[in-house]
Amino acid sequence: MQLDGKIIHVGGTNSGGDGDNGSELEIARFNSDGTLDSSFGSNGIATADYGTNSYLDGSAIQSDGKIVATGYSYNQDSIVIRFNSDGTVDPSFSVVDINQNNSEGFISPVIQPDGKILALMYQGVIYRFNADGTSDTSFGTSGRSSAYASSFALQSNGQIVACGSTREYQSEYWSNPFTTVMRLNSDGSADSTFGDSGTEPADIFGAFPCMAIALQSDGKILVGGDIWYGNTGNPITLTLNSFYIARFNTDGSLDSSFATNGVYISSFQNSPDGSGGYGNMTSLLVLPNGNIFGVGGYGPIELTANGTPVQSFQNPLGRIGLLPGAALAPSGEIFIDGYREIYKLAP
């Protein structure tokens, strides 16, 4: 979402018919009224040829209007590329191309105030690049952190809050996954003042890894994810096929003033094909009034600041399928990504 209200949407030109496989990297820019911005790329769409089945999965906008985009290709390359504000590829940026087995590409780029770029390798580690695309070797070890994460956010002091799982890709992952929250210093090292030396879960409860994170203005941390297996754990009993939103204090402890013992649990509507409920919290926003807005499996939800449902909020979208993301416009409107569609909710 640009400051002028224009909307950036990334993906790939469809070669396989399923919406996931693309033959070119693609960025579309829409005006605030939903029409394509003809001043961007070719009639509102910019592309970059990066080989068969390449796809963009995230973007961030620099203060100069340039767009940093992240993605992957099916030969297991993780990609970071930059476009000028008119949609042309920026030749001054050294395109990042990291080949790593089992990688599903970079997601969730974040631009630091100094112009450096943070990017998360999908369910992996956080990398930092200089403003020209070269690796920032002052971060972590050779430009990458050791923290294993699935989502992250940048604090105003330069520290990085991330969430993930202690059981990623291990044999017991499916039988007993745990959510963890961690905080890194600006150099990529663990913040020893957070949780258990910054490297262990600040609080663990039986749940699937978090996929959404947001920071409140008071520094408290919101995380959200799915629950695929019922599990009685500390501090709350978890329910099969549900989602959770949890809030942590700035020291890494669960905020007991939020929802029930720090965790809100519910279920989105049934899937459109009638196969049942699906959890999956994919994106969290903190609204100007302090309320919490989330999207994921088949619908949005709004909670008050203390973690109770907003009774006046009615899902206007119906059963439309998985929603991978949401963004808050300067006007207060909420834009929701529906893969092939973009939805707008009034403030």
CATH of 145-345, picked from 1.10.40.60, 2.60.120.330, 2.120.10.30, 3.30.450.20, is 2.120.10.30
Residue type, 326: A
Token digits of residue 280: 């999956």
pLDDT at position 49 is 81
Q: How far, in Å, CA of 213 to CA of 225, rounded?
A: 9
Which residues are CB-contacts of 297 (< 8 A; sequence separation ≥ 6)? 226, 243, 268, 271, 277, 278, 279, 280, 281, 322, 323
Q: How far, in Å, CA of 326 to CA of 310, rounded?
A: 18
263-302 pLDDT tens trace: 888 876 544 444 444 567 889 999 999 999 998 876 788 9
What is the CB neighbour count within 10 angstroms for residue 291? Answer: 15
Q: How far, in Å, CA of 132 to CA of 281, rounded?
A: 33
pLDDT at position 304 is 97
Token digits of residue 62: 């620099």
CB-count burial class (<10 Å; 0-12, 13-18, 19+) for 62: middle
Q: How far, in Å, CA of 214 to CA of 179, rounded?
A: 15
Q: How far, in Å, CA of 301 to CA of 306, rounded?
A: 14
Q: Give the CA radius of gyration of the chain.
A: 19
304-339 pLDDT tens trace: 999 999 987 766 666 556 677 899 988 889 988 876
